[in-house]
Structure 1
Amino acid sequence: MPGSKGPTLNGSQMHAPLAWLLRPLVRLLIRSGITFPALADILRELYVNVAEHDFVLPDKAQTDSRVSLLTGIHRKEVSRLRGAGAPVNAVPATVSRTSLILAHWLASKDFTGPDGHPLPLPRTAEEPAPSFEKLVEAVTRDVRPRAILDEWLDRGLVVHDAEDRLVIAETAFTPQPGSERQLYYLGRNLHDHIAAAVANVEGNSPRFLERAMHYDGLSQVLAEQLEERSRGLAMEALLTANREAHEACQTDEPGDWRINFGIYVYAEQVTDRRSSEPGARAADGEAGPPEGRDDGGASS
């Protein structure tokens, strides 16, 4: 829980990691035309909202004075902002529907082959053969399958194969840059990754798996090879987890919990050697507070 007992942290310890994790976001904000004053307004409201709801003392009403003390924001400003509500990133209807249908196609035994991979689907088919129409109707009957197909073809989420069957395109997994779908997952996935890392920092023992393998001092050729290999491993892990989760959900009693299993791969050319020793190569299972340390060794 926020504000609960855990390791004692000095605020100055947060300066370097905070600047590092915010740098890509600040770059995106500047490109998007969000100025510092606009960001400051969002942060001010968010500080008040988090202090108001996540740092309540047991059996005591939260006051403007205490919120002001916790946040450093003037009490008059706190009074104005309290109750405004934190920024909400609701799931757009098209994102939710698309994700559900794709997940069903990737996981359901009715729409996957013996190897677990999604089957190519004709638009329509007689029972009991699978089809795109049956796939959509298995998830929702609020929208006609043809309307969804036209939308997906236009967005490049599905393509026709040589036999005129529909297959999932790579763009189904990599949303169009700047699209509503991509921006939704920007907020959701980064929130959950940071929330997992923060929970581990705040706790007396790591609660969430939040780890990474990293190598420095590589040639561009090897970096690209490792990135491609990592992509393949990541997709296999996600597809396997999705299939198992989909099957388990069929018999699970509905509740109010959620889980997000994410994997990321990142590679870049390091131009500032202060962040990486020249020629250093290291493999490390550690990212943030790990559940344990798995050193992959080092080579020169």
Structure 2
Amino acid sequence: MSEPSHRVPPDAAALQAPLARLLRPLVRLFVRCGITFPALTDLLRELYVNVAEYDFALPGKDQTDSRVSLLTGIHRKEVRRLRGAGAPVSAVPAAVSRTSRIIARWVAAPEFTETDGRPRPLPRAAESGPSFESLVASVTRDLRPRAVLDEWLDRGLVTLDADERIVLAEAAFVPSGGGSQQLYYFGRNLHDHIAASVANILEEKPRFLERAVHYDGLSPALARRLEARAREIAMEALQQANREAHAACETDPGGEARWNFGIYIYTEDAPRPVPPAPESGAP
């Protein structure tokens, strides 16, 4: 496979405005969570050194403190102190891995879904046919299905219907509350979205699909209605992609590659721009 061709990157000054817009919601999160500006600069300093050390190394040559300092603008003494930490590793918390694998199978495998593709309500156990016990056992033998069920009931990922069947809740698809699962996907999904956008800017031809449908100047009622409809469309697309990926994985030999298909929806009540007041007293 040939290496992708690269275009001349945009001028640093041209990135100022989009970068400020991109970072604004993150800065709001930082301030709300107590991440101060000095703490953020310490993190950025480490990341600059790490990226320069590992992502900008020249083939066949050892990366030097001087070159990292030149690339980052960070003093060589600081570079020497910060180097060698290793490339950042995005470890998947065990709870995230096991939960996502079980839910992915529940919403994709034919034996656990209805004819319309919705996940079936499952009995706790059954002598024949699908059950919650058989679902968990089909993914891992290291966990007791009862322990998984108790955890999921506590977190609101499942509920019990009138027949005591286990029903997958929408909360299973949208982790919330600022816990480890939500924070993991916060980092993973934003990383992948930004990485796709950056690749499209730097490469000669955009490699990744990254599109959005957007309308401004809407009434709040229409914005909410479009948000609700977009949520329905998005869930249908995600479930279809999951079913096809799950089926394809059955015969895939496995490897080191990964794939992410994500969708986002956003609405806000943006204030209309106020036109400048006419000058008074002008001749």
> How far off its partner does 1:272 sit?
5.9
State whether residues 4 and 203 of structure 2, in contact with CA within 8 Å, keep that contact through their aligned partners in structure 1.
Answer: no
1:121 — aligned with what?
Answer: 122
CA distance in 1, matches of 2:75, 2:52: 13
Question: Structure 1 unaligned runs (5+)?
Answer: 275-300
> How far off its partner does 1:117 sit?
1.3
State whether residues 46 and 86 of structure 1, in contact with CA within 8 Å, keep that contact through their aligned partners in structure 2.
Answer: no
> How far off its partner does 1:163 sit?
1.6
State whether residues 2 and 55 of structure 1, in contact with CA within 8 Å, keep that contact through their aligned partners in structure 2.
Answer: no
1:56-101 superposed Cα distances (whole Å, 9 cap, x missing partner): 1222211100000000000110011001235443111001000000
1:258 — aligned with what?
Answer: 258
- The amino acid of 1:107's aligned partner reads A
Residues 157-196 of structure 1 aligned to structure 2 (within 5 Å): 157-196=157-196
1:72 — aligned with what?
Answer: 73
1:145-184 superposed Cα distances (whole Å, 9 cap, x missing partner): 0000000000010001122111111111121221111000
1:6 — aligned with what?
Answer: 7
Pick which of 158-167 and 80-89 moved more: 80-89
1:42 — aligned with what?
Answer: 43
1:278 — aligned with what?
Answer: none
Asked whether 1:198 is paired with 2:201, we answer: no
1:60 — aligned with what?
Answer: 61
Count of aligned pairs between the two proteins? 273
Asked whether 1:16 is paired with 2:21, we answer: no
State whether residues 3 and 54 of structure 1, in contact with CA within 8 Å, keep that contact through their aligned partners in structure 2.
Answer: no
User: Could you tell me the percent identity over the aligned residues?
Assistant: 66
- The amino acid of 2:245's aligned partner reads A
1:288 — aligned with what?
Answer: none
Asked whether 1:150 is paired with 2:150, we answer: yes
1:281 — aligned with what?
Answer: none
Pick which of 159-168 and 69-78 moved more: 159-168
- The amino acid of 1:189's aligned partner reads N
Residues 234-273 of structure 1 aligned to structure 2 (within 5 Å): 234-271=234-271, 273=273
1:112-135 superposed Cα distances (whole Å, 9 cap, x missing partner): 1211111110000012x1000000
How does the TM-score come out when normalised to structure 1?
0.88
CA distance in 2, matches of 1:265, 1:21: 16
2:133 — aligned with what?
Answer: 133
CA distance in 2, matches of 1:64, 1:2: 28
Question: Structure 2 unaligned runs (5+)?
Answer: 275-283
- The amino acid of 1:58's aligned partner reads P
Q: Whose radius of gyration is greater, 1 or 2?
A: 2
Residues 254-293 of structure 1 aligned to structure 2 (within 5 Å): 254-271=254-271, 273=273
How does the TM-score come out when normalised to structure 2?
0.93
- The amino acid of 1:214's aligned partner reads H
Name the SS for the 2:159 alignment partner: strand
2:216 — aligned with what?
Answer: 216
CA distance in 1, matches of 2:35, 2:25: 14
State whether residues 69 and 79 of structure 2, in contact with CA within 8 Å, keep that contact through their aligned partners in structure 1.
Answer: yes
Name the SS for the 1:23 alignment partner: helix
CA distance in 2, matches of 1:54, 1:84: 14
Q: For the structure 1 residues 31 and 87, does the alpha-carbon distance in structure 2 shift closer, same or farther, using more than 3 Å as the test?
A: farther
State whether residues 5 and 204 of structure 2, in contact with CA within 8 Å, keep that contact through their aligned partners in structure 1.
Answer: no
CA RMSD of aligned residues (A): 1.7
Q: For the structure 1 residues 66 and 170, does the alpha-carbon distance in structure 2 shift closer, same or farther, using more than 3 Å as the test?
A: same
- The amino acid of 1:50's aligned partner reads V
Pick which of 139-148 and 83-92 moved more: 83-92
Q: For the structure 1 residues 4 and 75, does the alpha-carbon distance in structure 2 shift closer, same or farther, using more than 3 Å as the test?
A: farther
Name the SS for the 1:167 alignment partner: strand
CA distance in 2, matches of 1:91, 1:59: 32
CA distance in 2, matches of 1:273, 1:87: 42
Pick which of 84-93 and 187-196 moved more: 84-93
> How far off its partner does 1:224 sit?
0.4
CA distance in 2, matches of 1:68, 1:32: 31
